[in-house]
């Protein structure tokens, strides 16, 4: 076998190996139950190719809390779960879901704690309003005590006057 024949054979074997690896990866991805992203969905840097989708992606990931870090958004966190959540957001965006549908999916799956800014409802009104209500009650109590003491007569020390 000459040199060009060996090079051709090596190229064919390399191509066959690459194709097999691609098929194995595609079948593993398909077995995971996640849809394949459309061709051209990502640019060379791994960002979404559509600037509008990338903008929506950044906005959504800034509004979701990392469940591991708890005081960071998934956009800022380096935790493995945050990376998985970012991947889910990308897939939902590529599937054509609206922002509201993505937030609903995340809260249904992980609870309202995943939202960095929870919606205003009866529970959150109590949580946010309780400190202000207690401060107001404390102010009223202090005012009433001060007013009551102001009405009390001043007692003079009778022993000091008798001497």
Cβ atoms of 69 and 82 closer than 8 Å: yes
User: Could you tell me the residue range of the domain that residue 86 belongs to?
Assistant: 32-114
Statement to judge: residues 82 and 141 lie in one domain: no
Q: Do 137 and 105 share a structural domain? A: no
Confidence at residue 100, expressed as pLDDT on a 0 to 100 scale: 92
Q: Which two tokens stand for residue 8?
A: 């051709």
pLDDT digits (tens, 9 = 90+) for 80-113: 988 899 889 988 988 889 999 999 999 999 888 8
pLDDT confidence band for 27 (50 / 70 / 90)? very low
In the prediction, which pLDDT does 159 show? 59
Give the DSSP H or E segment for 144.
Answer: helix 122-151
CB atoms within 10 A of CB 77: 22
* CB 71 within 8 Å of CB 116: no
Q: Kindly state the helix (H) or strand (E) to which residue 103 belongs, with its residue range.
A: helix 99-110
Indicate the residue among 114, 139, 157 that finishes a domain: 114
Q: 64 - beta bridge partners?
A: 115
Determine the pLDDT at residue 32.
44
Residues 46 and 110 in one domain: yes
Domain count, the chain: 2
Of 62, 151, 158, 41, the residue nearest 115 (C-alpha): 62
In whole angstroms, what is the distance from residue 128 CA to residue 88 CA? Answer: 31
| Of 52, 58, 53, the residue nearest 94 (C-alpha) | 53
Has residue 135 got a pLDDT over 90? yes
Q: Do 37 and 105 fall within a single domain?
A: yes
**pLDDT computed for residue 35 by the predictor:** 47
Residue 115: beta bridge partners? 64
Burial class (CB in 10 A: 0-12, 13-18, 19+), 85: buried
Is the pLDDT reported for residue 140 higher than 70?
yes
Residue 120's pLDDT is: 77
Residue 88 placed within a domain: yes
């Amino acid at each position: 076998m000459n040199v060009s024949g060996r090079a051709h054979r090596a190229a064919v074997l390399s191509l066959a190996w690459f194709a097999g690896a691609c098929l194995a990866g595609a079948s593993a991805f398909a077995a995971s139950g996640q849809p394949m992203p459309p061709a051209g969905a990502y640019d060379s840097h791994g960002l979404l190719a559509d600037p509008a989708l990338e903008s929506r992606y950044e906005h959504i990931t800034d509004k979701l809390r990392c469940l591991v870090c708890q005081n960071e958004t998934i956009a800022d966190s380096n935790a493995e779960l945050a990376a998985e959540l970012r991947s889910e957001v990308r897939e939902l965006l590529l599937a054509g879901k609206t922002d509201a549908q993505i937030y609903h999916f995340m809260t249904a799956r992980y609870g309202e704690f995943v939202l960095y800014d929870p919606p205003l409802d009866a529970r959150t009104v109590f949580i946010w309003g309780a400190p202000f209500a207690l401060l107001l009650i404390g102010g009223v109590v202090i005012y009433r005590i001060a007013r009551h003491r102001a009405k009390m007569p001043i007692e003079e020390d009778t022993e000091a006057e008798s001497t």
